[in-house]
């Protein structure tokens, strides 16, 4: 049985997430703003949840239709085979969103969809009341220009919640975005990676996990793990396969520093939880005009502070200037920086080779990319 799925994505990262969907075996892929549609078998649910690094969550695209009145929404929702997924004890909440549609009251759409599902399931299960004490099926009703999309969330807490970041510093980067920044750089596990403003260590930890092929969702839980439709064996096999595929012998050369000792303590703790503390060299150190490069042909990926305080603005200016000086002193290096600061290129002193817009939460940022030369052939694997 083929199922229609949606992997949701941060705006601006659709191309990265599309590549992931391709790699993981998605078929009939279609990309639009913030979502990648595809189809595949039921085994995609464990596989995608376990392996997506940049995608936000995996949804079942249960149905799509047009609705212009509440009656239409009710009847079309009620006609769908909800019993294929939602169990007699299933807990089903309905969330919603509506953009440019006649049915603009989200709360009304939500309650109508909930009622329609209940009315569908009552005769199917021959009950009048649902206890909702079992597995969770989060339904979303999305309206865009009167087109209704009904989805069921397989993921639970968003996929950025890998489980290793129990502690975070101020303004941490989402794990899914960090993984995408690495994907968009030309970093490979045989090259040096350096984040000189690492905060809670997200970029370094994600890079180490990529290098060692550790599945990002290996140790966490998912809503769909409790769904009877997916044989427990599929979950077990996917997990055993993921453990077997870890490159235990790979020791990437990753450096992560921050001027805040508490950030380094946090980053170390997180890297231990992620099982990659032996792959990252941590250091409490201020990034300044003298910061040395730990080798040649390295890749610097960083997320410097970006705030509006006057003090911070001055500090940011200094950091951007020093990033430019670092590149000048180390012409074999590549530099990748995510920031919302629009003065970035001017303050660094050089135009980026490429710039990509993306959203870090609600903050509009740019990912500035300065491509260094490729390492000589015999230095690469």
Ligand X SMILES: C[S@@+](CC[C@H](N)C(=O)[O-])C[C@H]1O[C@@H](n2cnc3c(N)ncnc32)[C@H](O)[C@@H]1O
Residue 149 and residue 136 in contact, taking contact as beta carbons nearer than 8 Å? no
Q: Is 208 in the site for ligand X (CB under 6 A)?
A: no
In 3D, which of 183, 95, 75, 192 has the Cα closest to residue 136? 95
Specify whether the CB–CB gap between 42 and 52 falls below 8 A: no
Q: Which of 44, 67, 169, 184 binds ligand X (CB under 6 A)?
A: 169
Q: Are 273 and 201 in contact (CB under 8 A)?
A: no
Residues whose CB is less than 8 angstroms from the CB of residue 337 and which lie 6 or more positions away in sequence, other chains included: 301, 302, 303, 304, 323, 344, 367, 368
In angstroms, give the least distance from the CB of 308 to ligand X.
Answer: 13
Show the binding pattern over residues 267-296: x = contacts ligand X (CB under 6 A), - = does not: -------------------xx---------
Beta strand pairing status for 57-66 and 147-153? antiparallel
Place of tokens 């610097």: 300
Angle at 17 between CA 237 and CA 247, to 5 degrees: 45
Check binding of 303 to ligand X (CB under 6 A).
yes
Q: Residue 142 or residue 172: which is nearer to ligand X going by CB?
A: 172
Stretch that binds ligand X, among 47-55, 75-83, 138-146, 166-174 (CB under 6 A): 166-174
Q: What residues between 229 and 268 interact with ligand X by CB under 6 A?
A: 258-260, 263
Q: How far is the CB of 348 from ligand X (least distance, A)?
A: 14
Count of alpha carbons within 13 Å of 37, Cβ hemisphere only?
A: 12
Given the complex with ligand X, which of 90 and 199 has the nearer CB atom? 199
Tell me if 313 contacts ligand X by CB under 6 A: no
Q: Which of 108, 305, 325, 371 binds ligand X (CB under 6 A)?
A: 305
Least distance in angstroms from the C-beta of 267 to ligand X = 7
CB of 259 to ligand X, least distance (A): 4
Q: Which two tokens stand for residue 176?
A: 């899914």
Residues that bind ligand X (CB under 6 A): 169, 171-173, 196-200, 202-203, 258-260, 263, 286-287, 303-305, 315, 319
């Amino acid at each position: 049985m083929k199922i229609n799925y949606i992997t949701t994505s941060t705006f601006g990262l659709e191309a990265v997430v599309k590549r992931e969907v391709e790699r993981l075996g998605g078929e009939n892929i279609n990309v639009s703003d913030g979502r990648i549609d595809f189809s595949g078998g039921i085994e995609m649910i464990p596989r995608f949840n376990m392996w997506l690094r940049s995608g936000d969550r995996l949804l079942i695209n249960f149905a799509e239709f047009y609705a212009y009145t509440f009656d239409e929404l009710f009847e079309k929702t009620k006609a769908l085979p909800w019993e294929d997924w939602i169990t007699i004890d299933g807990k089903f909440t309905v969330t919603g969103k509506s953009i440019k549609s006649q049915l603009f009251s989200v709360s009304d759409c939500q309650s109508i969809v909930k009622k329609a599902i209940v009315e569908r399931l009552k005769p199917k299960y021959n009950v009048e009341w649902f206890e909702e004490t079992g597995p969770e099926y989060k339904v979303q009703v999305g309206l865009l220009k009167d087109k209704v999309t009904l989805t069921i969330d397989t993921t639970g807490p968003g996929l950025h919640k890998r489980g290793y970041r129990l502690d975070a510093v101020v303004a941490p980067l989402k794990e899914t975005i960090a993984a995408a920044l690495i994907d968009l750089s030309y970093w490979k596990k045989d090259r040096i990676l350096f984040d000189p403003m690492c905060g809670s260590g997200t970029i370094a930890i994600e890079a180490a996990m990529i290098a060692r092929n550790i599945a990002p969702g290996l140790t966490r839980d998912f809503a769909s793990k409790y769904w009877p439709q997916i044989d427990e064996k599929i979950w077990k096999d996917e997990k055993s396969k993921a453990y077997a595929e870890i490159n235990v012998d790979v020791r990437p050369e990753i450096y992560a520093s921050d001027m805040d000792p508490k950030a380094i303590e946090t980053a170390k703790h997180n890297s231990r939880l992620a099982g990659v503390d032996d792959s990252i060299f941590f250091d409490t150190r201020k990034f300044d005009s003298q910061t040395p490069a730990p080798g040649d042909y390295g890749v610097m990926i960083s997320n410097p502070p970006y705030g509006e305080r006057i003090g911070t603005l001055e500090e940011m200016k200094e950091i951007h200037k020093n990033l430019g000086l670092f590149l000048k002193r180390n012409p074999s290096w590549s530099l990748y920086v995510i920031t919302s600061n629009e003065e970035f290129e001017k303050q660094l002193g050089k135009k980026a080779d490429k710039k990509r817009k993306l959203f870090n939460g609600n903050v509009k940022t740019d990912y500035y990319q300065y491509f260094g030369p490729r390492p000589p052939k015999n230095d690469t694997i």
